[in-house]
Structure 1
């Protein structure tokens, strides 16, 4: 048994629908600008170019329920609804035709973004880490096994704030569908069981305020609901 000089952190994990067992999270990859309309609203060309990725810490993923804290250091916290893919089998240099064989299941998630910090980072040609990888920046609903729901290739993607629709799209609008995304990730790193992939967000991203009620869903996968917590100047 390995001896550690400090107590190891608890294993990050996400709930599994209909089960008391949980899915352990190893790494979290996120795809940027994977819907053409969102790419345009962010001032970018949506032509099909190789996808780009950023990451979040595994423990940034939290349950998309109850209260999700409003983070420090921002005045412009944005919501980005996404289909989340859970990897159950590993591999490198996977071909798109075999990529879906690696998928264990799917969930509904939100990529929370400190947009003001991201905009500053872009202007200064600095990494996005502080804008994307903060605590509780990846609210995620329960995972649904492929054995239960199959592979959703199309389906309504939506997010509402206080009952008002903010984001709408369809999975068939993904510039790079799930199989292609998995293939591209596997060319850069060896995928392993426990990896999560946030696949991109449709147009309509916008700011959240403390007290906002967020509901969101992906047809054929599920729905989530959470409240944005109070603004905190420092973390407790």
Structure 2
């Protein structure tokens, strides 16, 4: 299992992301608090790791950072119960759900999908794999993000609207979860724009951190 989990980038078939899973984040963008999870997909081609750069999409004028806890799935499953959900977690990653906000705003107005806004190349920077035993309580861990050394996001997974077991159970009703898949669990408040040359640093408590440059 350890070998599989450290290779999740190659083995995972999909990234399932959850929108508006923190009340304060929903409020800051003027969105209602959802009554059930809002899901969207990011292609695995959007993954990058440290040493690679976040690239601003062509014609994008408002690229936003969103720091998130990612759940790495350890085995295949459908219609997973909340009680069994954590048995499908192999570990975690720190992730950024980079968002072309202007693309998203236009898509929302027209009732169109968010694929370009959320799934462009380099839109999913991730950290090294975090072993499940290293993060004893994923439901209460600090998420933080700095841009050019200035703190922008500083929240806790304890503020999630929908818990990790609930998300795994809910998602598995509609998408078969497969070994190596990643679930992005949403972002706390404080999202904002980045520009060419900015340096983003993000962390999960003092467990792990990562740094990326925008170009």
TM-score w.r.t. length of structure 2: 0.93
Is 1:158 aligned with 2:131?
Answer: no
TM-score w.r.t. length of structure 1: 0.85
- Preserved CA contact (<8 Å) 1:114 1:131: yes
Cross-structure match for 1:224: 210
Deviation at 1:52, TM superposition (A): 1.2
How far, CA to CA, are the matches of 1:117 and 1:71 in structure 2? 10
Give the root-mean-square deviation of aligned CA atoms. 2.0
- Preserved CA contact (<8 Å) 1:86 1:196: yes
Structure 1 runs (4+) deviating above 3 angstroms are: 147-151
- Preserved CA contact (<8 Å) 2:50 2:127: yes
Deviation at 1:53, TM superposition (A): 0.3
What CA deviation, in whole Å up to 9, does each residue of 1:188-230 have, x standing for no partner? 111111111110000011000010011111126411111112x
Is 1:168 aligned with 2:151?
Answer: no
- Preserved CA contact (<8 Å) 1:65 1:224: no
Structure whose alpha-carbon radius of gyration is higher:
1
Cross-structure match for 1:199: 185
After superposition, residues 1-236 of structure 1 pair within 5 angstroms as 22-23=7-8, 24-46=11-33, 49-219=35-205, 221-229=207-215
The structure richer in strand per residue is 1
- Preserved CA contact (<8 Å) 1:108 1:221: no
- Preserved CA contact (<8 Å) 1:106 1:221: no
Deviation at 1:151, TM superposition (A): 4.4
> CA 1:54–1:64 in structure 2 vs 1: closer, same or farther (change >3 Å)?
farther
Runs of 5+ unmatched residues, structure 2: none
